[in-house]
């Protein structure tokens, strides 16, 4: 808050830091960028992977996966609830299913990069009861190094999502569905 604390901290950091050491270069370790690996890992952490022939099959695929979803929000088609940045919390809280486009999938850990521009509202991916991420399978990379290499910057807000919200805080028993989405399906095409 005060200018003095800032100056004091910076001066102390400067005075107490060790001699300068080099910044290592992070190599690209290669690795397996396959749909199979991505699927195995994501399934192992509680997510589901579904494959479809092309985007035109999305409606039908979702119909089969979520026959009961009533309040659906998506930028990919006209959902039942229009959502934008100004949508009030009360309406967001009623959403059963959000269908959002993912940008990059990472095979080694099953996560999908979801930038702000694809979310409609920043809270939507976590407040929705169920989340479906639609991903072009050619966008799967092997590791986090390759994923970050493809991101020039992360925008105002963005996140990697790996599976449904979960917790193991009660006696280390894994429970799916803590605060965020209770399930995660990645729809690959």
β pairing state of 175-176 and 166-167 = antiparallel
Residue 89 touching another protein (CB under 8 A): yes
Q: Rank residues 64 and 167 by Cβ distance to another protein and give the closer one.
A: 167
Residue 22 touching another protein (CB under 8 A): yes
Residue 65 touching another protein (CB under 8 A): no
Interface positions, 135-164, toward another protein (CB under 8 A): 143-145, 147-149, 151, 153-164
Do residues 177 and 128 make contact, with C-beta atoms less than 8 angstroms apart?
Answer: no
Do residues 113 and 62 make contact, with C-beta atoms less than 8 angstroms apart?
Answer: no
Q: Rank residues 60 and 168 by Cβ distance to another protein and give the closer one.
A: 168
Q: What tokens were used for 141?
A: 């990379």
The Cα–Cα gap between 156 and 134 comes to 21
Residue 13 touching another protein (CB under 8 A): yes
Residue 117 touching another protein (CB under 8 A): no
Q: Rank residues 71 and 165 by Cβ distance to another protein and give the closer one.
A: 165
3 state SS for 41-108: HHHHCCCEEEECCCHHHHHHHHHHHCCCCCCEECCCCCCCCCCCCCCCHHHHCCCCEEEEECCEEECC
Kindly determine how many residues on this chain lie close enough to bind another protein according to the rule CB under 8 A: 76
Stretch that binds another protein, among 58-66, 72-80, 83-91, 97-105 (CB under 8 A): 83-91
Q: Which residue from 53, 54, 56, 171 is in contact with another protein, where contact means CB under 8 A?
A: 171
Residue 12 touching another protein (CB under 8 A): yes
Shortest distance, position 84 Cβ to another protein, whole Å: 11
Do residues 105 and 81 make contact, with C-beta atoms less than 8 angstroms apart?
Answer: no
Q: For residue 122, give every residue at least 6 positions away whose Cβ sits within 8 Å of its Cβ, in sequence order, or none.
A: 85, 116, 157
Q: Rank residues 58 and 111 by Cβ distance to another protein and give the closer one.
A: 111
């Amino acid at each position: 808050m005060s200018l003095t604390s800032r100056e004091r901290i910076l001066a102390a950091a400067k005075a107490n830091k060790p001699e300068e050491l080099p910044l290592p270069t992070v190599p690209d370790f290669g690795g397996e960028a396959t749909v199979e690996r991505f699927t195995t890992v994501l399934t192992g952490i509680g997510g589901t992977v579904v494959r479809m022939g092309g985007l035109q099959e999305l409606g039908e695929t979702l119909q089969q996966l979520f026959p009961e979803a009533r309040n659906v929000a998506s930028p990919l088609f006209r959902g039942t609830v229009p959502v934008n940045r100004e949508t009030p919390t009360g309406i967001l809280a009623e959403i059963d299913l959000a269908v959002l486009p993912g940008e990059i999938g990472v095979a080694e850990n099953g996560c999908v990069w979801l930038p702000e521009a694809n979310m409609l509202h920043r809270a939507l991916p976590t407040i929705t009861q169920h989340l479906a991420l639609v991903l072009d399978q050619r966008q799967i990379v092997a590791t986090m190094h390759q994923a970050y290499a493809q991101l020039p910057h992360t925008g105002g807000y963005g996140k990697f999502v790996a599976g449904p919200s979960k917790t193991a805080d009660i006696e280390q028993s894994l429970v799916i569905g803590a605060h965020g989405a209770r399930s995660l399906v990645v729809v690959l095409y």
